[in-house]
Amino acid sequence: MSEAVTEHETVEEPVVQSAVEAVSDEQLIAMLVDRIDKDRLQLLRLNSCCRRG
Protein backbone atom coordinates (compact mmCIF):
# COMPACT_ATOMS: atom_id res chain seq x y z
CA MET A 1 0.00 0.00 0.00
CA SER A 2 1.17 3.47 -0.75
CA GLU A 3 0.92 6.22 1.79
CA ALA A 4 -0.40 9.63 0.83
CA VAL A 5 1.14 12.56 2.58
CA THR A 6 -1.04 15.60 2.87
CA GLU A 7 0.05 18.94 4.12
CA HIS A 8 -2.34 21.21 5.92
CA GLU A 9 -1.82 24.91 5.47
CA THR A 10 -2.96 27.07 8.30
CA VAL A 11 -4.70 30.13 7.03
CA GLU A 12 -4.73 32.99 9.44
CA GLU A 13 -7.68 35.28 9.07
CA PRO A 14 -7.06 38.93 9.85
CA VAL A 15 -8.56 40.08 13.09
CA VAL A 16 -11.33 42.52 12.29
CA GLN A 17 -12.51 44.84 14.99
CA SER A 18 -16.28 44.78 15.17
CA ALA A 19 -18.18 47.96 14.43
CA VAL A 20 -19.48 48.10 17.99
CA GLU A 21 -16.01 48.05 19.48
CA ALA A 22 -14.87 50.87 17.23
CA VAL A 23 -17.66 53.21 18.33
CA SER A 24 -17.78 55.00 21.67
CA ASP A 25 -20.81 54.90 23.94
CA GLU A 26 -21.56 58.53 23.15
CA GLN A 27 -21.54 57.80 19.42
CA LEU A 28 -23.87 54.83 19.90
CA ILE A 29 -26.29 56.96 21.90
CA ALA A 30 -26.22 59.67 19.24
CA MET A 31 -26.92 57.06 16.54
CA LEU A 32 -29.87 55.68 18.53
CA VAL A 33 -31.31 59.15 19.09
CA ASP A 34 -31.00 59.88 15.37
CA ARG A 35 -32.78 56.63 14.54
CA ILE A 36 -35.56 57.35 17.03
CA ASP A 37 -36.07 60.83 15.59
CA LYS A 38 -36.28 59.48 12.04
CA ASP A 39 -38.71 56.72 13.05
CA ARG A 40 -40.87 59.19 14.99
CA LEU A 41 -41.00 61.51 11.98
CA GLN A 42 -42.09 58.64 9.75
CA LEU A 43 -44.79 57.65 12.22
CA LEU A 44 -46.06 61.22 12.42
CA ARG A 45 -46.24 61.43 8.63
CA LEU A 46 -48.05 58.10 8.44
CA ASN A 47 -50.46 59.12 11.19
CA SER A 48 -51.32 62.44 9.54
CA CYS A 49 -51.72 60.72 6.17
CA CYS A 50 -54.18 58.19 7.62
CA ARG A 51 -56.27 60.88 9.33
CA ARG A 52 -56.89 62.69 6.03
CA GLY A 53 -58.74 59.75 4.51
Task: Determine, yes or no, domain membership for 16.
Answer: no
What is the number of structural domains in the chain?
1
**How far, in Å, CA of 41 to CA of 48, rounded?**
11
Task: Determine, yes or no, domain membership for 17.
Answer: no
Task: Determine, yes or no, domain membership for 10.
Answer: no
Tell me what the mean pLDDT of segment 15-24 comes to. Answer: 67
pTM above 0.75, yes or no: no
- The larger pLDDT score, comparing residue 16 to residue 31, is at 31
The amino acid that residue 17 corresponds to is Q
Task: Determine, yes or no, domain membership for 2.
Answer: no
Task: Determine, yes or no, domain membership for 15.
Answer: no
Q: Which domain holds residue 28?
A: 24-53
- Report the pLDDT value the prediction gives residue 23, as an integer from 0 to 100: 86
- Report the pLDDT value the prediction gives residue 2, as an integer from 0 to 100: 61
